[in-house]
Amino acid sequence: MAGKPGRKFQLNEKQLGYAMVAPALVLILLVVIWPIMLSGWNSLFDYRLNDPTKSERIMSESLNLEEYADNRYLVEQNVNELSEAYPEGEETFNETWAVVEEHHEELVAEDEMAASYQEVNSMLNDYEPITDDNLRIQSIDGSWGSDFEAAMDEQIEAVNSVQQQADGDIALEIGYLAAQLENLQGSVLSPNFVGLQNYTDYLSDGRTWTALTNTTFFTIVSVGAELIIGLGVALLINRTFKGRGIVRASVLVPWAIPTAVAAMMWSYLFDGQSGIVAHYMAAIGLISDPGSLLTTASGSMFSIIFADVWKTTPYMALLLLAGLQTIPNTQYEAAEVDGAGRVQKFFFVTLPLLKSAILVALLFRTLDAFRVFDLIYVLTGGGPANATESISVFAYKALFEQQNFGAGSALSVIVFVCVAIISFIFVKLLGSDLFPERAKK
């Protein structure tokens, strides 16, 4: 719009400002804030993707109309075919259908339900997918649900006893009818709202505490080691020397490669049979045998911390080096005049002036370490026997390996709360140092 003659709208600075921040705020709201709220909501349900009766979040007893209409149609077809093919069971089949019909009449006596049923049925006839959950899942009142379930139990039993007298293909067909009746019965969804039960379950489960302990241990030890080594390296290379470019590049490569790729590299280097690092460590007596690195609890924890320190110490050193370079030389000269030695200069000049740089680096590294997933998932998979499982890895396994979205969400909310507490502590420590002048203009 800039530069065009006769522009229609011209925003003033303020309006333009709000218009410019709007897209980012809307996106953050949609892809960050809203999903975390949904996670919280999901965590209140016994919500499982791999169990059809629990694959929806339901507050009150409901009917899955898609399942219901679909299976009702299949039952009708099958009853008609079987009555002809197996006259001995005709009476039972007709009786079953009559019971289904009787309950159906009762269901569609309600106008709203009848209309929804019609709509779903015609969509199914046209092979249209039913994506509108408000249409697909209808809540049902009174005792219809339990009556229907009880009636279906009786009919399934009756059909099963007919099946036992039949044989061959017919028995198989009758078996299908029983299965369809079970599916029809399964379209009644009982509420799976469990309140805070997922949380109480996990907080009383030893595996959660093991995962939290592992995560905390990993975070403290690796970030601590990274800070100390990083600070040492930064102090040493904070001078003029030839070959800065090579050092800088070599330090950036571990930072730049994907953590998953680094984890694959280290799983080879730590391997009990062909790993060179395991081999050398055993040779100098650091570990009893090369195999113990990835097969024992302490060895595995050591391995992931070692790999993490290798990958992020260079980054830490860079951040601290940048902080060191902002300390004016005059400060050191003044300290020298006062008779300070190297150690005193470090403790009374360097550290205080580096405080905010250290805290900012610690904040980002601590949060990163606490969220650790890729490194552990690829390097040890959380093993052996969950000894290196971090809380994010545990949550991922609950969500995607067990397909348990309710319980997994509870775990991910727990991770979120921990991260929020850590950030809160750091932000308190840092105060306004976190917001450089930029926000204050």
Partner 1 sequence: MLKNQAGIRFYIFLAIFVFLVMFPFIWIFLTSLKPQNELTSFAWFTSNATLESYASAITTRPLFRYMLNSFVVSGLTTVLSLLIASFTAYAVTRLPIRGKTLILGLVLASSMFPPIAILSPIFNFVTDTGLRNSYIGLVIPYITISLPLAIWILATFFQKIPWELEESAKLDGATPFQTYRQIILPLATPGIFTTAILVFVAAWNEYLFALAINTADAWRTIPVGISFYQSEYTVPWGDISAATVIVTIPIVILVLIFQRRIVSGLTSGSVKE
Distance CA 187, CA 74 (A): 14
Does position 392 interact with partner 1 (CB under 8 A)? The reply is yes
Choose which of 23, 195, 206, 285 interacts with partner 1 (CB under 8 A): 23
Choose which of 242, 330, 343, 428 interacts with partner 1 (CB under 8 A): 242
Binding residues among 393-422 for partner 1 as defined by CB under 8 A: 395-396, 399-400, 405, 408-409, 412-413, 415-416, 419
Does position 17 interact with partner 1 (CB under 8 A)? The reply is yes
Our CB check for partner 1 shows the closer of 9 and 142 to be 9
Distance CA 323, CA 340 (A): 21
Q: Residue 404 phi/psi, 5° resolution?
A: -100, 85
Contact residues for 32 (Cβ-Cβ < 8 A; gap 6+): none
Distance CA 441, CA 433 (A): 15
Applying CB under 8 A, which part among 73-81, 136-144, 189-197, 244-252 lies near partner 1?
Answer: 244-252
Our CB check for partner 1 shows the closer of 120 and 414 to be 414
Does position 270 interact with partner 1 (CB under 8 A)? The reply is no
Q: What residues does 48 pair with on adjacent strands?
A: 404
Instruction: For residue 150, give the amino acid letter.
Output: A
Structural contact between residues 308 and 375, judged by C-beta atoms closer than 8 angstroms: yes
Distance CA 370, CA 351 (A): 25
Choose which of 134, 206, 239, 337 interacts with partner 1 (CB under 8 A): 239
Distance CA 32, CA 36 (A): 6
Q: How far is the CB of 263 from partner 1 (least distance, A)?
A: 7
Q: How far is the CB of 206 from partner 1 (least distance, A)?
A: 20
Q: How far is the CB of 301 from partner 1 (least distance, A)?
A: 19
Choose which of 324, 382, 388, 389 interacts with partner 1 (CB under 8 A): 324
Does position 73 interact with partner 1 (CB under 8 A)? The reply is no
Distance CA 175, CA 166 (A): 10
Choose which of 124, 179, 360, 429 interacts with partner 1 (CB under 8 A): 360
- Residue closest to 312 by CA, chosen among 369, 274, 385: 369
Q: How far is the CB of 186 from partner 1 (least distance, A)?
A: 22
